[in-house]
Structures are given as C-alpha cells and as structure tokens.
Amino acid sequence: MLLEEIKPLLLDMKKNNATKDKFAFTYNQVRFEVIILIDCQPYELLFGVVGHNFSFILNLHKGFNLQNIPDPIFYRLCEILNLKAGKDTFTSFEFLKYMATCIPEKFSNIVVQPHEIMAHKKKDVPEEEKIYFCGWKTYKEDSTHSAKNFEKTRKILGESVYIFCKKHNISSCWTSELGKRKDYTVPVVR
C-alpha cells in the first residue's frame, strides 16, 4: 500500500533530527499507538493495541510503500476489533487507510522511551526480560572489558546510536526493574 500521508511527518522528523515519533488513533473503539522508527532500513511502524497485549510491526519501504498486514496478524486484529474479515465488511486496506488519515504532519517532540519500543521487539533481543533503559557504561581504551549489548542497542535505540556506541566502546545498560529505569539520554564520550 502506498502511504504518502506519512511524507510530511517524515520530512518534519528529519528537519528536527528525530529518529522516533509516535501518535495514537482509535478504530472501532479500540486505541492504537504507533511508533515510527526512521533510523533503520526499511523504516518501521510499530503498532500497539492498548489494553490487548498485542502488537505488530510493518515495514515502510522507499517510495512510501507500506508492507501489507500478514494474514495471521490481520485475523487477530479482526478478533480484537470484533469485526469480520471480508471485502464487504473489514479489510486490512481499510484499516491502514484509516490509520493514514490519523498521521500527524508535524513531529510531536515526544521522547519515545526505549521500553516502549522494547514492547514490540523484545523477542528479537538478548535478555528480553530487561526492558527498561538504565544508562550507559563507557569503557576506557585500556580496560580489560569491552562494550556489549550492541545488537540490543541497534534494534531498540537505532542504527546511529549503535554506530556511535560501537565506535566509542559504550554499552547500553538495561534492567528488569521499573524503579531503576531512567529516561533515555543520548550517549556521550567522556
């Protein structure tokens, strides 16, 4: 599906040097939160269904071509929305076209926290139970230890943060305890 409605938002995100943003919409009385990640290729739209412990990711390819919703995900979506699938009832195209009308044109300035992304990707990262960001650990050149968590950093925090951390021997730190969670800050060289 062509998703040209996202173009103004992507341009504004780039203008503001933002790699993540989010917005929400409601469909058939069910609330959805969508996180947009543009620090990866293809771009990703992470859909979360509020109150239903269900999420899915769709890729946005060059030319604003949005991946179709895979059938198993679409049928689960039908259950959640209490709708029947079919040409005359409810289609994934109809759902995505409606979502497209809800995409804001401007970057929200909302800081998307790592645990919000982790909710969608935790099955793809090491130590998936550690969903909360809790800081950075910088290793000096003469240290006997070196940075780790690079793959988790790449998948959750983005390509540019991953490259910076790898270059400067910095590890992202994660915890499973909500009380130890810190708001995300960019890594710095000390």
Summarize pLDDT for 110-121 with one digit per residue, the tens: 999 999 998 887
Residues in the chain, pLDDT under 70: 144-147
- What whole-number distance in Å separates Cα of residue 173 and Cα of residue 171? 6
For position 188, what pLDDT does the model report?
84
Angle between helices 150-157 and 114-121 (to 10 degrees): 100
Show me where the domains of the chain are located.
4-101, 114-180
For position 123, what pLDDT does the model report?
72
For position 145, what pLDDT does the model report?
65
Collapsing DSSP to helix, strand or coil, 40 comes out as coil
Length, in residues, of the chain: 190
For position 146, what pLDDT does the model report?
64
For position 85, what pLDDT does the model report?
83
What contacts 17, CB < 8 A, 6 or more positions away? none
- Residues β-bridged to residue 32: 25, 49
Pairing of strands 170-175, 20-27: unpaired
